[in-house]
């Protein structure tokens, strides 16, 4: 049986009318640029996350870039982040003139390891960008403590983790992206809250950062043709905002369905390979479901077999950032970040979306078992 990685259309029929009406509303008003649907969605998104502000932007990459600028990251600053993420996390750091510094990851959560981060802090360090990889919450208490101790900014790359939650030491459950100085989000179709095209957002509780972001996304201007700074053309599209407002109402249910799929995967694969271990103080958003094998040979064999069976699979990510050609100038090599090197050689991700059926789950897990 063919099983896709994601099925964007599986969840569409129940909300089709609602979405199409919302889109028609924008077409009929023709308020395509920063129409009222954008402000409406921003309010709803901030309320969902429990932050004071949300700013809709063109995509999740711009969200990181503008959050860095609005938080005061400048040319020559060092920004510590994970080597085990999509390049958007680090290319934006370089693009604002700062230097990405890669620290090692945790072997269980695959997220940035606070102990490794602390070792990389220098007098030039300005910010930390933890990434909630696959939807797995980072150890935010540790990062916030480091930030306080060293006066650093924390920007949470929450592109894969909207609806994920973290319980802090005080016992409060917080949505991911609402804990650091800024949280950045992507509405790329395959993310937890996907638009019907590109989209992104930044959340913050800091009014000054919020005001700066509002200017940055619109050519540095508050009033048309008055530019207090240079900015970007990076507004959230009004049609996408209308779609997102509808989908936002369903996203919690979808995350529950993803968690149910994950539980079935874990039960079926017990003892076969390592399945995600979600800490007690975390809610995973399961944007991706990632397995770890005890050797590269086993991982590669499993991947080959699933591909032959037409079961979609993907390695997120086959080459860690410190080993990418784009970062050759930083001099990274195998052995520098040993946990990351070992993890990237032994993981791969299974199909994951809310509507995945029991039959599909069985086909996928039987194939993994057979391959191992």
Residues that bind ligand PLP (CB under 6 A): 59-61, 85-86, 88-89, 131, 157, 159-160, 186, 188, 198, 200
CA distance 4 to 289: 13
Neighbours of 70 (CB within 10 A): 26
| Residue nearer to ligand PLP on the CB measure, 35 or 60 | 60
The residues near 46 (Cβ < 8 Å, ≥ 6 apart) are: 52, 53, 54, 203
Closest contact distance (angstroms) between CB of 161 and ligand PLP is 8
Query: Left (φ > 0), alpha (ψ -120 to 50) or beta: where does 166 sit?
Result: beta
Tokens of 353: 């979306």
Contact at 8 Å (CB) between 350 and 112? no
| Residue nearer to ligand PLP on the CB measure, 160 or 259 | 160
| Residue nearer to ligand PLP on the CB measure, 177 or 231 | 177
Q: How far is CA 128 from CA 55, 79, 116, 174, 302, in A?
A: 21, 6, 12, 19, 35
Closest contact distance (angstroms) between CB of 202 and ligand PLP is 12
Residue burial 278-303, b: 16+ Cβ < 10 Å; e: rest: beebbbbbbbbbbbbbeeeeebbebb
| Residue nearer to ligand PLP on the CB measure, 183 or 269 | 183
Closest contact distance (angstroms) between CB of 311 and ligand PLP is 22
| Residue nearer to ligand PLP on the CB measure, 50 or 189 | 189
Phi and psi angles of residue 35, each rounded to the nearest 5 degrees, phi first? -70, 170
| Residue nearer to ligand PLP on the CB measure, 49 or 61 | 61
| Residue nearer to ligand PLP on the CB measure, 309 or 314 | 314
Closest contact distance (angstroms) between CB of 136 and ligand PLP is 12
Closest contact distance (angstroms) between CB of 188 and ligand PLP is 4
Closest contact distance (angstroms) between CB of 58 and ligand PLP is 8
Tokens of 6: 């994601």
Using Cβ positions, the residue closest to ligand PLP within the complex turns out to be 60
Pairing of strands 347-350, 125-129: unpaired
Closest contact distance (angstroms) between CB of 108 and ligand PLP is 19
């Amino acid at each position: 049986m063919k099983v896709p990685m994601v099925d964007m259309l599986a969840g569409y029929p129940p909300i089709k009318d609602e979405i199409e009406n919302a889109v028609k509303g924008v077409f009929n008003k023709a308020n395509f640029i920063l129409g009222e649907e954008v402000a409406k969605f921003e309010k709803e998104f901030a309320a969902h996350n429990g932050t004071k502000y949300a700013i809709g932007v063109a995509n999740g990459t711009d969200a990181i870039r503008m959050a860095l600028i609005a938080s005061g990251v400048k040319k020559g600053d060092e920004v510590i982040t994970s080597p085990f993420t999509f390049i958007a996390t680090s290319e934006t750091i370089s693009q604002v003139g700062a230097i990405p510094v890669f620290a090692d990851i945790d072997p269980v959560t695959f997220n940035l390891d606070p102990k490794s981060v602390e070792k990389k802090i220098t007098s030039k360090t300005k910010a930390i960008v933890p990434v909630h990889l696959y939807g797995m919450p980072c150890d935010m208490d540790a990062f916030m403590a480091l930030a306080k101790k060293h006066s650093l900014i924390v920007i949470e790359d929450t592109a894969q983790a909207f609806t994920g939650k973290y319980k802090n030491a005080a016992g409060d459950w917080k949505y991911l992206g609402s804990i650091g100085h800024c949280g950045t989000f992507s509405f790329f179709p395959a993310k937890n809250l996907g638009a019907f095209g590109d989209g992104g957002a930044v959340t913050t509780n800091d009014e000054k950062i919020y005001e700066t972001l509002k200017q940055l996304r619109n050519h540095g201007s508050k009033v048309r043709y008055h530019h207090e700074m240079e900015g970007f053309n990076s507004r959230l599209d009004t049609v996408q905002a209308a779609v997102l407002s509808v989908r936002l109402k369903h996203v919690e249910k979808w995350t529950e369905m993803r968690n149910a799929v994950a539980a079935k995967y874990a039960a079926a694969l017990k003892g076969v390979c390592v399945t995600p271990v979600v800490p007690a103080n975390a809610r995973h958003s399961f944007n991706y479901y990632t397995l770890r094998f005890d050797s590269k040979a086993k991982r590669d064999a499993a991947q080959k077999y699933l591909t032959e069976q037409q079961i979609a699979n993907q390695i997120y990510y086959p080459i860690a950032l410190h080993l990418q050609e784009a970062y050759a100038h930083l001099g990274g090599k195998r052995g520098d970040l040993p946990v990351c090197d070992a993890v990237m050689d032994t993981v791969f991700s299974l199909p994951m979306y809310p509507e995945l059926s029991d039959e599909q789950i069985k086909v996928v897990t039987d194939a993994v078992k057979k391959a191992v």
